[in-house]
A and B are shown apart, each in its own frame.
Chain A
Amino acid sequence: METTHPVTVIRKIYKKAALLLIPAVRGAYHMISDGTYGFSDWMSGVWLDAAVLAAAVIFSILNWRSVKYSVSPGRIILKKGVLFKSERILPEKRITSVTCHRPLLFGMLGAESVYADTEGGSTKRSDMSIIIRSSRTRDFYTSPRSGKTYRPRVHEVLLLSLCVTDTPASAVYAFILMNRAGKILGRDIITEFISLAAGAARYAAAVVLAVEILGILRNFLYFSRFSVTRYGDSLYFENGFFSKTRSMCKTGAVNYIDRRQNLASAVLGLGMVFIQCTGYGKARKKEALLVPAAAERSAEACIKMLLPEFCGRTENCGAKAGAHCLRPAAVSFLRYVRTPVALCVPVIIACISVPHFAEVILLILTPPLALLAAVRATAFRRAGIFSEGCEISEKTEGCEKTEARIKSKDVMLTLCYYKGFSIHTVSFRASKISHVKIKQNIMSRNKNIYDVTVYTCGEGGHRHTVRGLDIDREDPQAYITSFPFLQGVFF
């Protein structure tokens, strides 16, 4: 059995001990440099802290010594625990993803974190997480010898960083807003308090902006030098400027691919593509990226190259084929935009009741509401459930062949829906569907309008809801489950 890298000890205690260590060292320095007091005087004050620190260090060392692993053909065995010992056997063929992460400090010490994950286990923690010597990582991760590689351009990574960082535009907007608010409030309402508040808000906005820029920079550094390679039945990812991260995930474990767009990227015609593969991205708590912000056509080309199993969008064919496509009813448009419209009411009330602040309120709340309404309207235009089968019928085969093909369990489905400020176009195989839920609210009871939620496999399950679909049938549940593309799932 192999032992882990000694840096594990530091990793285990630094969070617990740092709070005690810093004041203890500071106190010792002052006492010794002052010369009036000795070591015993210092110890009489901090003995309890020192005891806790020593206990933490001893426990961490014992914990480190207890973690042992072995890699043999076909399985990985992981043993750990001081009082409660556990032994885990991970079959190699069940491992869906492996991530090796080497921060700057680990690189200097020759250590690397390895995370391995399977379809089972916790949704939050990796099934195996150890720190080992860099030279031993080849037991878990081997770089691809050949294969098709995709490397995005720098500007694509920068655009991605802008999109995945919590709306940097909002910080710029906040800065401008506060600046303007200061002016408005300072001129119209001459109170010292409000002027002070407005002045302070300007600095607060500057801080927010700085934090956002740091966030963008952090994401940019994380995603820089990003590359994806398809080799055999696996995808190999590499990224990071200072901290290097290498990941491998099996294509069979990819539950779905998610083409995500917010309004800005939709206007620019850019799309980000993420994948959901058990374990990938979990260890670093980052989005599981496949293609950074790229033009829609080039994103599709990348998907075709890296994951040909998921290529082919079926929105248009679905509309023509009819039976294998579900789209929102025209009356559902109101459902899509009702939230931003409903949120306008309190804004109007606030403007009427506090006319002095009307301009500020409008300035603050109008842009996000307009953005939300625009996203919802765009989502309405695109939303629906589409299946791959109809595409085959259109291009090459007749109806009978289509039916035969789409009855197989591996038919691909594409769902387009909105979530928050983003529009998601999610593609997955029908075999990845866990279950389907159909909901009808009281307002649309007489209109045959339903919300369809498709749950896909994966740790914890994943939910995709398309709202306001027009299902003009007496029994929508039976109708949905009789869909050819869902027959493999239900029957």
Chain B
Amino acid sequence: MHNESARITLAAELYITVFAAAASAAAYAALSIFGTRGTVCITASAAVFFVITAVSLVYAPLFGRSVKHSLNGRILSVSYGVLVKYSVSIDFTRVVYITRIRGPFEKITGASVLEFSFPGGCVFMPVGSDSAAEGYISRWKQRTL
């Protein structure tokens, strides 16, 4: 099993931090609309930011560590998730096409997400390194193209 948890953890933490900033701004705006005093608005929005960030400090490493993927013969196995575990095995020869998705934080950390589309659905697989992603793509190309 590959495990590039550190990079995935960092990317997840960065995304949750952005989410925390957006949530705190929304909280500030909502409290301001209802006429709450300025200091209370700032305190509440800061609290929202710190609570979400603190949760991310626990959640992101757990999520990063939970990501596991392997290709044994024809079977691609992917599993991840903290509260809800997601685990799937698919026949790699049935994969019709692959999409590689990289957001701004994936570019910084070197992680990426591979989307394997096959008849009947698709599987998203977080991958911790470029080489691992390239490895999957090249193996798929060898079998398909």
Contacts and interface: CB of A to CB of B under 8 A. Distances in A.
A85 B104 CA distance: 8
B99 A88 contact: yes
Contact of A120 (B96, B107, B145): B96
Interface stretch (A89-97, A286-294, A359-367): A89-97
Contacts of B99: 86-89
A81 B95 CA distance: 23
B100 A87 contact: yes
Interface string B94-107: 01111111111001
B137 to A, nearest CB: 7
B145 A119 contact: no
Given A74-B145, A75-B145, A88 B96 contact: no
B119 interface: yes
A45 interface: no
Contact of A90 (B97, B104, B120): B97
Chain B interface mostly: mixed
A228 B120 CA distance: 29
Interface in A69-126: 74-75, 81, 83-91, 94, 118-121
Nearest to A121: B117
A156 interface: no
A127 interface: yes
A463 to B, nearest CB: 15
B141 interface: yes
A127 B101 CA distance: 15
B118 interface: yes
Contacts of A90: 97
Interface string A117-143: 011110000010000000000000000
Contacts of A83: 103-104
Interface string B112-145: 0000011110100000000000000100010011
A299 interface: no
A127 to B, nearest CB: 7
A121 B141 contact: no
A411 interface: no
A90 B98 CA distance: 7
Contacts of B118: 119-120
Contacts of A326: none
A74 B98 CA distance: 14
Contacts, number: 58
Contacts of A81: 101
A94 B97 CA distance: 8
A120 B117 contact: yes
Given A89-B137, A89-B141, A91-B144, A84 B98 contact: no
Interface in A330-355: none
Contacts of B122: 120-121
A412 interface: no
Given A74-B145, A75-B145, A119 B119 contact: yes
Contacts of A86: 99-102
A140 to B, nearest CB: 15
B127 to A, nearest CB: 13
Interface string A138-165: 0000000000000000000000000000
A88 B97 contact: yes
Given A75-B145, A119-B119, A120-B117, A84 B97 contact: no
Given A83-B103, A127-B117, A457-B119, A121 B145 contact: no
Contacts of B120: 461
Given A74-B145, A75-B145, A120 B100 contact: no
Nearest to A118: B96
A127 B104 CA distance: 23
A84 B96 contact: no
A85 B101 contact: yes
Contacts of B104: 83-84
25 contacts: A75-B145, A81-B101, A84-B102, A84-B103, A85-B101, A85-B102, A86-B99, A86-B100, A87-B100, A88-B99, A89-B99, A91-B96, A91-B145, A94-B96, A94-B97, A118-B96, A118-B117, A119-B119, A120-B95, A120-B119, A121-B96, A121-B97, A127-B97, A127-B117, A459-B119
4 smallest CB-CB distances across A and B, nearest first, come from A120-B96, A120-B117, A119-B119, A88-B99
Interface of B: 95-104, 107, 117-120, 122, 137, 141, 144-145
Given A85-B101, A85-B102, A118-B96, 15 more contacts: A75-B145, A83-B103, A84-B103, A85-B103, A86-B102, A87-B100, A89-B137, A90-B97, A91-B145, A94-B97, A120-B97, A120-B118, A120-B122, A121-B96, A121-B117
